[in-house]
Structure 1
Amino acid sequence: MIHDRDGLHRLVARIAPGPGPGMTPAALELLEDIVSGHAPAPRRPRVARAVAGAARSIARSPRLVPVIVSLTAVLLAVGWLVPGAAGLGPAPAAAALDIRREGDHYVVMVRDLFAAPASYQRELRQRGLDVDVRLVPIAAASVGHALYFDGTRDFSAIRPIEAPGECVRMALCPIGFRIPVGFRGHATVLIGRAARPGERYGVLEAIDMEGQPFHCVDYVNKTVAEVLPLLRERGLRAEFTSPATKGPRPSAPADWYVYEGVMVADGQALMLVNPTPNPQPRPRDAFCTERP
């Protein structure tokens, strides 16, 4: 579980060792306000406290301003949405997990992304592991991605299993995880599953990351009037938020500037805007290597 800022720094260092592009302090503070003001009552307090606490630490720590947008969005969004994002299907008759022992580790692969969470916990605890596996809705391009909170100082107990072939995602492309046979702490594993029609994502990614609609689109610090046609061309609906509104709105002044954007559901984006241009925008090539 993550309860201290240093612990979060270690998690960030493991997932995003390079500094990468970041969000401004104002953006981080705003997203923290959204998390704090719109979080539903959690059904799993232990999981929600861990992730929401990590999100607030990110927003308050100037040392984490350079952290990549995708990681920031993951932590913030899971704290905001994960209580309602558990697997919705009934417990299947077959095993929900494929758990095999390899030496002094268990190799855990998710076989059923829509199983009831209790199915995962039951199968892991049969092997003496206190691990909460939570399924969160996510964009199709990111299905299977995972984030771990394992309670160790360096977050080294649980390791992702990468998908075969080339992986361009900044947080790797895990399709399962390895955990020591003798692990005796508590761990939380959040894994992305395909969002159902109309379902909001539990893990948000920048609108211009690879696989997202604005990949390689130059939109940062353009006005709302300039960005709206780009959204429409890609079939996207948009909500807007700002330090002034501190919550999503259906529209924004045409002459305001767009700072960031994240995908919140299939075909739906949340754009961060402000009356003045962003004085510290992330680099134009933050997620795009194709620009000259």
Structure 2
Amino acid sequence: MPCADHSTIHEEADTYVARIKDPYADQRKFSEAFRSLGLDVELRVIPVSPSAAGEIVSLGGGNAPVNVPIGARKEPADCDLADSGCFMVVTVPAAIKGTPDVVHFELGRPAKPGEPYENSRQSATRPGEPLAGVKVSGRTVDDVLAEVGKHGLSAEFRRVVVHEGGYTVEPLAADQVGGDWIVFKVISTREGVVGLEVTAERQTGLEYAD
């Protein structure tokens, strides 16, 4: 069935397949079309850091059979979803039809000035990000702040709390951070601002990218 101009949903091999030509414009129609089939499926367009704009940022939800996973891709694979010849293709197992499970797909769009990025765990050193190619993990706060300044950026801080099975991060005021503290990761937070995830000393429970 059609879900918007040049966009369709059809069923094949116990899976619903949707091809959306303009997901930025058609997100509401996309969700409505799936609901009319008895599936609670949402397409969300969220503000993201530069390297994730035009990308399918995340997907999840539902209790899909392992052999019929929830999926999303671009068609052609290397196209820009903002272009007229690019489709977003999503697959949802028919097995979740009529269940209360919500399946969501998130598509990144460029953030407005001052708007927080919702892909908040994106490394600021990956290609396309403000500190692309800069080594930060394992260096001192003073060293990394010098790099941040060179790139015309400002910084916020988060304390890394290591615990059994992983770690969490929590906000930290700048005046609580020592220059000799160790940076674990730097993330993109909003235009012109990066977040330094730090510890007072090097932690054996963290995998530094050095």
User: TM-score surpassing 0.5?
Assistant: yes
Contact 1:96 1:120 in 2 (8 A): no
Identity of aligned residues (%): 21
Unaligned runs of 5+ in 1: 1-93, 168-173, 285-292
> What's the C-alpha RMSD, in Å, of the aligned pairs?
3.2
Deviation at 1:243, TM superposition (A): 4.8
Unaligned runs of 5+ in 2: 80-86, 162-168
2:20 aligns to what?
109
Please state if 1:247 is matched with 2:158: no
Contact 2:182 2:201 in 1 (8 A): yes
1:128 aligns to what?
38
**In structure 1, distance between residues paired with 2:64 and 2:208:** 32
Deviation at 1:216, TM superposition (A): 2.5
Q: Deviations over 1:227-262 (max 9, x none)?
A: 111111222221012158931434532121111111
| 1:131 counterpart SS class | strand
Deviation at 1:132, TM superposition (A): 2.5
| 1:125 counterpart SS class | helix
Shift of the 114–131 alpha-carbon distance from structure 1 to 2, 3 Å rule, reads: same
1:159 aligns to what?
71
The one-letter amino acid of 1:98's match is S
1:283 aligns to what?
209
Please state if 1:224 is matched with 2:141: yes
Count of residues in Structure 1 that have an aligned counterpart in Structure 2: 184
Greater C-alpha Rg: 2
Alignment of 1:78-117 (within 5 A): 95=4, 98-101=7-10, 103-104=12-13, 105-109=16-20, 111-113=22-24
Alignment of 1:38-53 (within 5 A): none
2:48 aligns to what?
138
**In structure 1, distance between residues paired with 2:46 and 2:93:** 24
Q: Deviations over 1:64-103 (max 9, x none)?
A: xxxxxxxxxxxxxxxxxxxxxxxxxxxxxx9489223263
TM-score by length of 1: 0.53
Please state if 1:187 is matched with 2:113: no
**In structure 2, distance between residues paired with 1:159 and 1:283:** 30
1:176 aligns to what?
89
More helix by share: 1
TM-score by length of 2: 0.71
| 2:105 counterpart SS class | strand
